[in-house]
């Protein structure tokens, strides 16, 4: 049995708490970052708060093994006096959207082999994709994830806005979105790239720009140039 203390009540902490509740091998307790006066003991204390609050929260924890869940914060940014680690799940978490943890990559880091194995066992209790990732590698993954997730989602939002403005159902684009995501499982993103920028179709590019507002035009031009330059 692995005892786990989750600190935080946000999206990541809430999803972790729900999944750990259904695991016989895990005994999980959850508190908020405001409830740090009486901290229960645990084999693993998981800080799942905003990146800016991790150092401050970790200073207040005396438990023997403390980890955080951030993709951009280094292991050594934890300020607890004892053992440190990272329990980072490379996935997007939304409040009301179920997470299938069997598909989530767990990126783990610890200061010694015993602690790493403890985190590995904890991850295996709910997931299947386990990776040993150090702090530098994790920062690289995190910025790559911003491009493929956060920025891509913002482009979905722009596409949604354009469709709404011209009374076109956004759902017509769903199969295209799915096919684009599926293709890069067998092709490199560069090989999968299509569209007017790749073809240098100047007439189509001009027609597109004429449809867009100023902010959308800037984004369109930057991405078109990046595609054409092979950046």
- The confidence score (pLDDT) of residue 197 equals 92
Query: What's the CATH code of the domain at 110?
Result: 3.40.50.720
* Chain length of the chain: 231
Q: Which of 90, 100, 98, 99 is nearest to 131 (CA)?
A: 90
Written as one string, the DSSP assignment of 4-42 is EEEE--SHHHHHHHHHHHT-TTEEEEEE-TT--SSPPP-
Work out the average pLDDT over 122-128.
92
Q: Which of 34, 32, 117, 121 is nearest to 83 (CA)?
A: 117
98-108 pLDDT per residue, tens: 888 888 999 99
187-213 pLDDT per residue, tens: 999 999 999 999 999 999 999 999 999
pLDDT surpasses 90 at 231:
no
Shared domain for 95 and 160, answered yes or no, is no
Shared domain for 51 and 149, answered yes or no, is no
151-190 pLDDT per residue, tens: 999 999 999 999 999 999 999 999 999 999 999 999 999 9
Order of all β-strands in the sheet with 44-47: 26-31, 2-7, 44-47, 65-68, 83-89, 105-110, 129-132
Shared domain for 114 and 164, answered yes or no, is no
Share of the chain above pLDDT 90, in %: 70
Shared domain for 16 and 126, answered yes or no, is yes
Which residues fall within 8 angstroms of residue 152, CB to CB, at 6 or more apart? none
3-state secondary structure of 44: strand
- In whole angstroms, how far apart are CA 104 and each of 44, 126, 187? 20, 9, 22
- The confidence score (pLDDT) of residue 87 equals 95
Tell me the C-alpha distance between 33 and 8, whole Å. 5
Shared domain for 164 and 197, answered yes or no, is yes
Tell me the C-alpha distance between 41 and 5, whole Å. 8
* Structural domain of 27: 2-133
22-77 pLDDT per residue, tens: 898 999 998 887 878 888 899 999 999 989 999 999 999 999 999 999 988 999 99
- 21 pLDDT tier (thresholds 50, 70, 90): confident
């Amino acid at each position: 049995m692995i005892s786990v203390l989750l600190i935080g009540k946000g999206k990541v902490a809430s999803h972790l708490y729900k999944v750990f509740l259904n695991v016989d091998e895990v005994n999980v307790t959850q508190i908020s970052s405001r409830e740090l006066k009486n901290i229960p003991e645990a084999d693993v204390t998981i800080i799942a708060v905003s990146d800016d609050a991790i150092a401050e929260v970790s200073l207040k924890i005396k438990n023997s093994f403390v980890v955080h869940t951030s993709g951009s914060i280094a292991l050594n940014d934890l300020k607890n006096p004892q053992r440190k680690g990272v329990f980072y799940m490379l996935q997007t978490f939304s409040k009301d959207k179920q997470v299938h943890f069997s598909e989530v990559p767990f990126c783990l880091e610890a200061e010694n082999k015993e602690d790493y194995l403890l985190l590995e066992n904890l991850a295996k209790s709910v997931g299947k994709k386990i990776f040993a990732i150090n702090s530098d590698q994790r920062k690289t993954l995190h910025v790559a994830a911003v491009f493929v997730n956060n920025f891509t989602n913002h482009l979905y939002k722009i596409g949604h806005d354009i469709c709404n403005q011209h009374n076109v159902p956004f759902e017509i684009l769903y199969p295209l979105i799915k096919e684009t995501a599926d293709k890069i499982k067998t092709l490199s993103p560069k090989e999968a790239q299509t569209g007017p920028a790749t073809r240098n179709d100047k007439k189509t590019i001009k027609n597109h720009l004429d449809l867009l507002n100023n902010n959308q035009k800037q984004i369109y031009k930057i991405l078109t140039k990046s595609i054409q330059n092979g950046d």
